Structure 1
């Protein structure tokens, strides 16, 4: 598939105009982006320009180009001051010895910051920085050298004195003000919650809605027949759902692989025609995979020319109406929508109890997503500073922390070059000890009245599972107090009357779509994928998983593709990734590497808090949720028709989400 075809497939028919297509090709060449990455940046650009035109014309592309350039320059400036891992005097030998290293010519930063010197070129001096509230908040006052009395700037002081849990120079959080609100959902309707009363004896405790024992399976032991049974069961389940929803008879559902002049309805899984496509999709490359019962598991190419609007991706289970007249293609006449699950409901008495338990106050939740240190260090002083903000100013009833806490793909961890931690007398000997001796003491500082939920990542060194779905951390092994709860990935729990779900796999970045049609293509990417999560009824609807790879050079000088752990799916246990209890969660939190957001899709609040700290060391973001109590007289709860005393919770009307810098 040529680059021009890829651009037209991604950007739609508007990109088929010669001048527009030439402008997009120029952006590909200038910024070294493929069609998929360029389209993702375009959707982020369109999201940021809410209310302004984003028609695909030369004027908008010119603004889009300036936006990309500004991002690159900002990243280059940040990486130039914060630094990344580099050889230091007396340190371990460079991991790139014997390899060609990209370096910028002269003083100009290279594109995307490649080759920018990342280690501060300062000689080490002994500096005494007295811990103060300003230090903890990430602002270090000027200091002086004890011997020479020479004045040091805050950045120089941080570059030498790492602070709490530092192993190498601490990142400088530059150009971003802490506590700055970046985005808000339901700004006008709901005020920010006061938070937990640390002097009160009452505490809000979540109740889990998952069977933790089912997640304690052994990974890397997949059985082919078990995997086939799970994938087949998914198709059969959706066939029954479609048949019941559209009131179809058994004869109305047919096999799309059999040549016939009759129109049929069929249910199958979207697959690409070749596993070597590397995520590059177009409408001509899609096929439909059938279940063993409906079509003996065979696949048939799809003809989608008659479909006006669609948003399709590999692994999506779809219901189609059409016919296979030639025996070579299934001509799709219509894509049938799959119904959503019901929402949880509560009685008026239960809601009144929830209202009284909160004494009429709003519930406050803080959501953080790792990593918690920059890519050039294992410094967690910024996390320690944030813990103090949690105790003093934020004071949430609940803190949800997503991993990775200690990332196995971190340059220092993956290379084994973990320096000493200056604050520790006995240095850790294993990665588990790095967690318990460096990270655990910081987490223990969270006030016991504040409940904390830890959700692992497949990149966490402290996790025994490297596949999704993933077992939880062991709280006792991590030496954490009782106000901490270690939940699985994914997990669903109840907080008062609210039904909350969390999943720590990046469905928003991994899902590669084929989008067609004005109404569908004009919707935001985040909205479309959130809609897919709801209709597919599982937190990661993509199949196979979005595995990430990077090109590296081996010892012989040959470029090879190295696997970077993405969504490694344990297929026989994919049932654990589906919605619990045949109910749609009212709040779904799925962290993503893409732009932070908070959106309401089909009356469900979706939140991506962003990352706590960027790889370059620049301050990241977190999500602060304020949820008003369920007041029956406030008009924000809806009574279920035909039921005497049952109400929908309507959390989306009562929830305010603020995305705030860390």
Structure 2
């Protein structure tokens, strides 16, 4: 049979490097998988084309990868014949054989005193631990990737702990309290109520047919709503036309724009007012009298100032946020507002305590050197031990920027990858963790298996018996869990505004927190994407549910994943009795290059003053 295999390779134009070893392994493959030499060579041709190998030489170094390819072929053939059959992999076998009760032991962490505090530093060579999260596809157990060689698994990078400290002066009961705490942490989490705000487009919608009229109406409505809200607050005069020459102070509302294609500078700032007040004309804006400001293209602002010549509005005051007492949704009929909220499921009790525990992670969920999704497996194992009420996963899941996806070196469709590598793992996790755990999936415009449009419809997920646990959310999207309002957007708006922003810091030397300032723009503008014109890689479609980009009320938690450094900020808006606080979280990316990234863990108990939040490196 070895001679037959050799002849078949030659017929197909392949030469053998280390012939004896290659033929010996190929013979083993034929025997183990009941293959004819011609079938084996056909499979090699598929593997050769998928891996984009340069030379037509069969090398011994490629045999391990070829074996994995054969295993996947055999597994897919069996699954097609019996779709409900579960295929056990070497991961599952290792988990069963190496199960040890010590794997479930965990030290109860207290308040971190150092940013580099280690929660877990297991070596990768220790027996694999899946904690019930077995999955049917993955890397061979003997293959150690750069991600697997890391020494520290879970390290607290940043922590906010504003929970009250309960002192215990009775030293005799310390040990007993510790045991009680361990038992308490091991109990299943209490199921949270969930309400999803359906504001975005529906799955299967028709997109990228927006017209100039749609763009004009969307921008005009933003300017008009801000103008009405600012006037309704009673703090400002009725807006006037900023393009008309006047010797007295006026108040105008308009959109910041640039007079060219470059970035904003002091000589290129323009203010475009609404059609109602100025016919849509714009005027040059001069800000040299302001001690501090922060502006970007697309920002809606109120300007107090003078325009003595009719060609330049000289600002004496800039208002970049709407007072909390003023409503921005001035055109929505009350019955329409109620129809926007769809209750997915809520608890039976009449009163729900405003508390939530959550893990928040943003893709990519696999490293750039493979598609094994090791970071996601580690995250689910961590979630299996902590058992939070909510697991919020934000795309990309099948990243279109991944090297193997970009060059087409994947032997499965993107939908198959998503179902087999993402949904199957999540299905295993919720079955292990119990019916009280909820998972929220938010898509990204970088998802290769989903619609490339923004705003983006939710994933069309059909998992029997698990639809009440795994929920798809639009991008951007808003949901309420235990009456805690959470807003999410996977477009990297923070990075994009950072590249277009022009600011002047106060002259008194007051330190300026740049990340808080960028996050504040989203809340102040009441929009998940206030930037205009949009970034080149954002397929913004104004014909698709423009209300999806609008933030009707300030959320308790705002999640904005970004390539910029991870952070957690408590944003303060308004003054006095109207003051509101919002927690803004950038969990970072779960995978960065060939190594692990970060995710966020949050224990929220009613307000930012009562919470424990951490950014954890994986």
Instruction: Return closer, same or farther for 1:526/1:411 CA change in 2, 3 Å cut-off.
Output: same
Q: Secondary structure at the match of 2:219?
A: helix
CA-CA distance at 1:522 after TM superposition: 2.9
Q: Which residue of 1 aligns with 2:382?
A: 389
> Could you tell me which residue of structure 2 aligns to residue 647 of structure 1?
none
Aligned twin of 1:458: 445
- Residue 485 (structure 2) pairs with residue 485 (structure 1): no
1:616-635 aligned at under 5 Å gives the runs 616-628=593-605, 630=606
Tell me which residue corresponds to 2:344: none
Per-residue CA distance 1:43-66 (angstroms, 9 max, x = gap): xxxxxxxxxxxxxxxxxxxxxxxx
CA contact (8 A) 1:369 1:402 kept: yes
Alignment CA distance shift 1:588-1:417 (3 Å): same
Q: For 1:231 and 1:521, locate their aligned partners in 2 and report how far apart those are by CA, in whole Å.
A: 34
Cα deviation, 1:314-355, whole Å, max 9, x if unaligned, reads: 1100000112222332211211353343699xxxxxxx9989
Match of 1:400 in 2: 392
Residue 230 (structure 1) aligned with residue 218 (structure 2): yes
Deviation at 1:387, TM superposition (A): 1.3
Q: After the TM superposition, which residues 264-275 of structure 1 pair with which residues of structure 2 at under 5 Å, given as runs?
A: 264-275=250-261
Counterpart in the other structure of 2:616: 660
Q: 2:542 aligns with which of 571, 590, 593?
A: 571
Structure-2 separation of matches of 1:528 and 1:169: 42
Q: How far apart are residue 606 of structure 1 and its match?
A: 0.6
> Would the aligned equivalents of 2:264 and 2:502 in 1 still touch at CA under 8 Å?
yes
Aligned length: 467
The counterpart of 1:178, out of the listed 149, 153, 171, is 153
Q: Which residue of 1 aligns with 2:586?
A: 608
Secondary structure, aligned partner of 2:595:
coil
2: CA distance between counterparts of 1:205 and 1:142?
39
Measured after TM superposition, the shift of residue 197 of structure 1 is 7.5
Report how far residue 584 of structure 1 moved. Answer: 1.0
Q: Deviation of residue 375 (structure 1)?
A: 1.7
- The whole-number CA distance in structure 1 between the counterparts of 2:278 and 2:145 is 59
Q: Which runs of 5+ in 2 are unaligned?
A: 1-46, 56-60, 69-89, 105-119, 129-134, 167-177, 328-346, 573-580
Distance in 1 (CA, whole Å) between partners of 2:126 and 2:524 is: 55
Q: Per-residue deviation at 1:374?
A: 1.3
Query: Relative to 1, partners in 2 of residues 1:197 and 1:187: Cα closer, same or farther, differing over 3 Å?
Result: closer
C-alpha distance in 2, partners of 1:584/1:194? 36
Contact in 2 for aligned 1:462/1:473 (Cα 8 Å):
no
RMSD, aligned CA: 3.8
Deviation at 1:600, TM superposition (A): 0.3
1:617 shift after superposition: 1.8
SS of 1:571's equivalent in the other structure is: coil
Pairing 1:356-367 to 2, within 5 Å after superposition? 363-367=356-360
Q: Distance in 1 between matches of 2:494 and 2:322?
A: 21
Instruction: Give secondary structure in 2 for the equivalent of 1:283.
Output: coil
Which structure has the greater CA radius of gyration?
Answer: 2
Distance 1:201 1:414, change over 3 A: closer
Counterpart pick for 1:474 among 442, 446, 460: 460
Report the more deviating stretch, 256-265 or 601-610: 256-265
Q: Determine if contact 1:196/1:395 at 8 Å carries over to the other structure.
A: no
Native 8 Å contact 1:206 1:496 kept in 2? yes
Deviation at 1:520, TM superposition (A): 9.3
Counterparts in 2 of 1:180 and 1:93: CA distance versus 1, 3 Å: closer
Give the deviation of 1:295 after TM superposition: 1.3
Q: For 1:197-596, list aligned pairs within 5 A.
A: 202-211=190-199, 217-250=205-238, 253-275=239-261, 277=262, 280-341=263-324, 363-391=356-384, 393-419=385-411, 428=412, 430-446=413-429, 447=433, 448-464=435-451, 466-476=452-462, 481-511=467-497, 512-518=500-506, 522-547=511-536, 565=537, 567-572=538-543, 573-580=545-552, 583-596=553-566
CA contact (8 A) 2:478 2:488 kept: yes
Q: Provide, for residues 197-225 of structure 1, a one-character-per-residue CA deviation record: whole Å limited to 9, x for no partner.
A: 78659521311133456676421110211
Query: How far apart, CA to CA, are the structure 2 residues paired with 1:544 and 1:172?
Result: 39
